[in-house]
Structure 1
Amino acid sequence: MNILFKFKETAVSVLPVILIVLALGLTVAPLEKIFLLRFVISGLLLIFGLTLFLLGVDLSIQPMGERSGAALTAKKSLPLLLITAFVIGFIVTAAEPDIQVFGSQVKSVFHFVNKTSFTFAIAVGVGIFIMIGLLRTVLKLPLKITLLISYIILFAVSFFVPNAFIGIAFDSGGATTGPMTVPFIMSLGIGVARVMTSKDENSSFGLTGIASIGPVLAVLIYGIVSFTSSAGSEAAAGAAASLAESGVEIAGDCTALDFAAATESSLTGNLFKPFASVFGEIFHEALFSILPIFALFVIFQIWLLKMTARQVTRIVIGFIYSFTGLIIFLLGVHGGFSDAGAELGRILGQKALSAGGAWYLLLIVTGLILGAIIVCAEPAVWVLSEQVEQVSGGTIKRKMLLVFLSVGTAIAIGIALWRAVSGFSLKSVLIPGYLLAMLLMLFCPAMFSGIAFDSGGVASGPLTSTFVLSFTIGAASGGSGGSESFGVIALVAMMPLIAIQIMGIVFKMKQKKTEGEVEHV
C-alpha cells in the first residue's frame, strides 16, 4: 500500500472538517482560541492515526480474516464453522470497549438494567447473527430474503417494546461496530464466500449488515423481559423523566464523557492537559479492541492457518501498526475533536432556539455538511470502500460509494438535528425508512444490497459517533433538551441502506444503457 497516497486521502477527508469548524468558531459561533488550537491538534492526530491504522489493517486484520474464513470453510464441517462464528462474534463483542460504555449509559438511565446481562445479551445477539450470516453464504440463500425476514421479525418485536427503549435498541447496533471488529468480520465473510461461491462477488458482502441486526433484536427482547414487571414500568417512567431532565445521551460509539464536564475540561487548563487525561482510558480501549482478535489469530495460527514465519511476522507488525494508529486516532477524537463538536452544536442550538430563522437553517446546514464529510474519515468506511473496489474488480469505484454514503449520512444528521431542536417520534422516521430500504431491495442488485447493509454498520464508527453525536447533543442542550438527541446512531445506520441501494439501481441502469449501446454498434 502506498502510505503517502493513503495519508493524502485521509488528510483530504479530515481537513475540510477542521476548516469548517475554524470558520464557524472564529465568526458566528465564537470559541476560545486555546479550544480551537486543541481542536486543530486533534485533527492532525486523526490524520496520522487513521493512516497508520489503515496500513496495519491491510497487513494484518484483512488477510487474517480472509484466510480464517477460507480455512474454516475448507474443513467442510458446517457445525465447526457455525460454532466458531458464534464464539468469534461473542468474544469480540463482549470485549468491545464501546459495549461497556453503552451498558453503563443505559444503566445510568434505566436503573433496573443489569450491565453484565445486558452486555451478554448483545454479545449473544451478534454471535447468533454472524452464524446466520455465514450459514446463508454456505447454503447460498438469497441475501435479500435473509434481510427481509430478519427485519420483519425485528420490527414485529419492536411493537411490544416501550418507546423509551426503541432508540436504545437501534443505537446498540452502532455500539458493536468497533474499528477492529468490523474489518475482521467483513474479511471473514469474504473468505467464506470465496470458497463457497467460486468468488461470486454477490455473496462477498452482507455479513456485517446481518450481524448488526443481532444486537438490536437482543436489546428489544431484553427490553420486553425487563418491562413486563410492574417495577420495570415504574423504573421506565422514572428513567424517562430523568433522561428529559438531565439530558443524558445514549448512543453506540459515544464516549462516557458528560457534556458539561467535557466542555469545562476543554475550556480550562493548559493546551495538552485533555490529551494526557484521556490517554490511559484510550490505551485501555485500544488494547481491549485488539486483544480478542489477536488472540483469535494466535489460536487460528496454531490450529488452522499454519502460516510461514514470514507471514506471521508481517501480520504481527500489522497488528502493531493498527494498535498504534488506533491509539493516535482515538486520542485525537477524545482529546479535543468531539468537545469542539459539542460546544459548536450548543452555541448554534441556543441561537436557533432564541432567534430561529437563519440560525435554525445554519444549524441544519452545518450538520449536513459535517455529516457528509466526516463519515469519509471513518476507519471501517475506508476498509469497506477498498474491499468493494477490489471484489468488484474496479467496476464499483470507491469514490462513488463514498459520495452516496456521504449523502445518506448527511441526511441522517440533518434529521437528527431536526429532532434535537424540535422533537418528534423516532419511530415515525425509522419505520418508513426501513420500509423504503426493504422496497428498494426489489430493484437493487444483490451485491449492492449487501454493501448497503454493511455500510449501515460501518457509518456509525468512533468518529461519526463522537464528533457528530457531540454536535447533536450540544444542539439539543441548547434547543429542546438532551432526550431528543437520543437515536442519532440509529438514523446514521439507517440512511446508508437507502442511499447505497439507490446507487445500485443507478449503476444497474447505466450498465443496461451501456450494454444496449454496445449491441447497436
Structure 2
Amino acid sequence: MYYLKAFSHAFLHALKNLLPIVVVVAFFQVLVLQQLPDNLASMIVGLLIVAAGVALFLQGLDLSIFPVGKSLSNQFARKGSVPVLLAFGFALGFSAVVAEPALIAVAMQAQEISGGRIDGFTLRMLVAVSVGLVTALGVFRTIFGLPLHWFMITGYVTVVIVTWFSPPEIVGLAYDSGGVTTNVVTVPLIAALGIGLATSIRGRNPLIDGFGLVALAVMVPMITVQLYGIVVYGGQEELPDDVSLLASGGETSPASGIATIISELAGMVRDVLPIIATVLIFQYLVLRKTLANPRRVAFGFILVILGLYAFVVGLKLGLFPIGTSMAEQLIRLDGYLFVYLFAFTIGFATTMAEPALIAIGQQAEEAAAGQINGNVIRILVACGVAVGITIGVHRIIAGDSMHFYIIGGYTVVILLTLLAPRYIVALAYDLGGVTTSEVTVPLVTALGIGLATNIEGRNVLIDGFGLIAFASIFPIVTVMGYAILAEWMNRRREVES
C-alpha cells in the first residue's frame, strides 16, 4: 500500500511536469493551427506512459540510488581520504549519467539519424566517462578550495577551439550531449556531494565551493564528443540529406512481442548495472559495511529499470511525435512568427516547472543566506531558456553555422565570468545545466529535428541538433547579467547615500 501511494504521488507529479507542454501544444493546436494531429490518441497514450515511466524511475531512485548515494557521500567525507573521495566522485558521475533518460533519448536519435555512423552506446559511454572524470576533478577543486572560474574559463576556451576544428555533423550533438548529462539522476547526487563536502571542510563556502560540479559535468562531454566526431567523420563523406527521413519519432512502432520486450529490458539492465556495481563495490569492498535495507534497494533498482523501459516506449509514442508534428504544422503557416512563439513559450513553460531547477534554487537560497531569491532565479533561468531555444530555432530556419553561434555565446559567457561577483559564478553555471529535464529534452530535440527535416536545404544531423545547447548557454548569461546589474545598482546606492 505504501509503494502504491508513493507511485500515485510520483505519477501525479510527473503529469504536473507534463502539464506545461500539454497547455502550450493545446493552445497552438486549437487557436493557431485550428486542427488536431492525426495520431492524437497515440500521443496521449505515449504521454501517459512517459509519466508512468518517470514515476517508476523516480520512485526507484528514492528507494535505491538517492539514499545509498547520500549515505556513501557522507561516510567518505567523514573518512577524509582524498584518493577514495576522487574514486567515489568518478564512480558516482559515471554511473549516474550512463542511465540518464534524456541522454538515452538523444543517443537514440543520433544513432538513427546518422544511419549508425554514430553509435549510441559508444556516445553514452564517452559522456559517462567524461562526467566521471570531471566529477572527480570537481571534488578535488572543492577539497583544496581552488577557484571555479579559472576551471570554467580554461574549459570553455578549449571547447571553443575544439568546436572550430570539429565537423559540422557533430557540433550540435556534442553540445546537446553536454546539456543533457545533468538531470533528474545526476543533479541531486552531484550537488549533494559538492555541498556536503564544502559544508564539512573548514574554510569552505557552500555557495562558492559547493556548487560547480554540475557545471563541470556539462562542459567536458562537449569536448570528448566533438573529438569522437573528428575521429568518426575524419576524411569521410558528408551525411546525405535524405537520411533526415529517419528523424520522425512517429514512424517508430512500439515494442511488440515478448522477445523484443525481454531484449529491451535486458538493455535497460545493462544501462543500470554500472550504478549497481558502484554501490556494491564502494559499500562492501571499500567501506566494508552491509546495505541498511538490501531488499528495498533491490526493489528500487527493479523500478528504475521498468521506469526507463516505459519512458523509452513513451518517447516513441508521445514526445517525439509531438515535437515533429508541431514543427511540420507550424512550418506550413505563412512566415515563421508562430514557430518562434512556440519555441519561446515551450522553453519558458517547461523550465518554470523543472523540478531540478526548483531544488537548486532552494539550495542556493539557503546557502546564500539572503543574497539570492529562489523565485527570481527561476524566472531568470526560464527567460534564458526561452530566449536560447528561440535563437536556436532561428539558426535552423536561417541555416546558419552552429560554430559561430556557439563560439559567440561562450565568448559572452567567459567575459561575464570575469565581470560577475564570485558568489554567483558557480551557481550560474550549475543553473545552465539543470534546465533540460527528461520531459523537455525529447520534445525540444524532436522540434529541432522536425524543423530541419521540413525546411528545404537543411541537413538533419548538422542543423537538427543544438537546441539543448542554446537552452544551456543563455540561462548562464541571464543569471550572471542579473548579478552584475544588481551589484552595480547596490554600489550606486551606496555612493549616493
TM-score, L = length of structure 1: 0.78
Q: CA deviation at 1:57?
A: 4.7
Q: Could you say which residue in structure 2 is the equivalent of 1:301?
A: 283
User: What is the aligned partner in structure 1 of residue 218 from structure 2?
Assistant: 212
SS of residue paired to 2:418: coil
Matching residue within 462, 473, 497 for 2:438: 462
Question: Within 1, Cα distance between the matches of 2:363 and 2:271?
Answer: 21
- Higher mean C-alpha deviation, range 409-418 or range 478-487: 478-487
Match of 2:319 in 1: 337
In 1, the alpha carbon distance for the partners of 2:87 and 2:170 equals 30
Report SS of the residue matched to 2:434.
helix
Structure 1 residue aligned with 2:87: 83
Counterpart contact for 1:56–1:319, Cα < 8 Å: yes
CA gap 1:6/1:442 in 2 versus in 1, 3 angstroms: farther
Give the match for residue 247 of structure 2. 259
Alignment of 1:377-392 (within 5 A): 377-378=353-354, 380-392=356-368
- For 1:115 and 1:470, locate their aligned partners in 2 and report how far apart those are by CA, in whole Å: 17
Deviation at 1:484, TM superposition (A): 2.3
CA distance in 1, matches of 2:264, 2:358: 22
Aligned counterpart in structure 1 of residue 339 of structure 2, from 348, 360, 363: 363
Residue 187 of structure 1 aligns with an amino acid whose one-letter code is A
1:53 and 1:245, CA in 2 relative to 1: closer, same or farther beyond 3 A?
closer
Return the offset for 1:153. 2.3
Larger deviation, residues 394-403 vs 92-101 = 92-101
Aligned to 1:186: 191
Other structure's SS at 1:462 match: coil
What is the alpha-carbon distance in structure 1 between the residues aligned to residue 160 and residue 280 of structure 2? Answer: 39
1:477 paired to 2:453: yes
Alpha-carbon distance between aligned partners in 2 of 1:166 and 1:475, rounded to the nearest angstrom: 17
Given that 2:113 and 2:243 are in contact with CA atoms closer than 8 Å, whether structure 1 keeps it comes out as no
User: How far apart in 2 are the matches of 1:410 and 1:38?
Assistant: 28
CA distance in 2 between partners of 1:395 and 1:389 (Å): 7
For residues 157-203 of structure 1, give each alpha carbon's deviation from its aligned partner in whole angstroms, at most 9, with x where no partner exists: 33333334322332331353454234322322223222235662222
1:263–1:226 Cα change, 3 Å: closer
Work out whether residues 371 and 409 of structure 1, in 8 Å CA contact, stay in contact via their aligned partners in 2: yes
1:417 aligns with 2:393: yes
| Whole-angstrom distance in 2 between the partners of 1:71 and 1:113 | 40
The change in CA–CA distance for 1:282 and 1:468 in structure 2 (over 3 A counts) is farther
Residue identity matched to 1:295: A
Equivalent-residue separation in structure 1 for 2:471 and 2:477 (angstroms)? 11
Q: Tell me the CA shift for residue 374 of structure 1.
A: 1.9
SS in 1 for 2:342: helix
Alpha-carbon contact 1:177-1:458 (below 8 Å) kept = yes
Please give the alpha-carbon distance, in whole angstroms, between the structure 2 residues aligned to 1:281 and 1:392. 48
Identity rate of aligned residues, in percent?
A: 28
SS of 2:146's partner is: coil
Identify which range, 298-307 or 95-104, moves more after superposition.
95-104
Contact 1:35 1:340 in 2 (8 A): no
1:203 counterpart = 2:209: yes
Change (3 A) 1:395 1:327: farther
In the superposition, the TM-score normalised over structure 2's length comes to 0.81
CA distance in 1, matches of 2:330, 2:413: 32
SS in 2 for 1:400: helix
Matched letter for residue 174 of structure 2: A
Judging changes above 3 Å, is the alpha-carbon distance between structure 1 residues 508 and 293 closer, same or farther for their aligned structure 2 residues? farther
Q: How far apart, in 1, do the equivalents of 2:372 and 2:55 lie? A: 23
Question: Does 1:439 find its partner at 2:388?
Answer: no
Letter in 2 for 1:142: P
Change (3 A) 1:62 1:264: closer
* CA 1:71–1:199: 2 relative to 1, 3 Å: farther
| CA distance in 2: counterparts of 1:303 and 1:134, whole angstroms | 21
Q: Do structure 1's residue 70 and structure 2's residue 74 form an aligned pair?
A: yes
Once the 2 structures are TM-superposed, how far is the Cα of residue 350 of structure 1 from its aligned partner?
2.7
- Residues matched between the structures, number: 485
RMSD: 4.1
Is contact 1:408–1:495 with CA below 8 Å preserved after alignment? yes
Aligned pairs for 1:400-411 within 5 A:
400-411=376-387
Q: Which amino acid is 2:250 matched to?
A: T
Q: Which moved more, 1:381-390 or 1:123-132?
A: 381-390
Distance between the aligned counterparts of 2:66 and 2:30, measured in 1? 42
Judged with a 3 Å threshold, the aligned counterparts in structure 2 of structure 1 residues 36 and 397 are, in CA distance, closer, same or farther, namely: farther
> How much does 1:149 deviate?
1.4
Verify the 8 A CA contact 2:320 2:442 in the aligned structure 1.
yes
Q: Distance in 2 between matches of 1:405 and 1:284?
A: 38
Describe how 1:31-110 pairs up with structure 2 within 5 A. Answer: 32=36, 35-44=39-48, 46=50, 50=54, 54=58, 57=61, 60-93=64-97, 98=103, 102=107, 105=110, 109=114
Deviates more, 1:4-13 or 1:142-151: 4-13
Show the 5 A alignment for 1:206-285.
206-225=212-231, 232-233=234-235, 235=236, 238-240=237-239, 242=240, 244-247=241-244, 258-260=246-248, 262-264=249-251, 274=254, 283=265
Counterparts of 2:38 and 2:408, CA distance in 1: 44
- 2:177 is aligned to 172
Change beyond 3 A, Cα 1:288–1:474: same
Q: 1:494 aligns with which of 451, 462, 473?
A: 473
- Report SS of the residue matched to 1:459: coil
TM-superposed deviation, 1:117 = 6.1
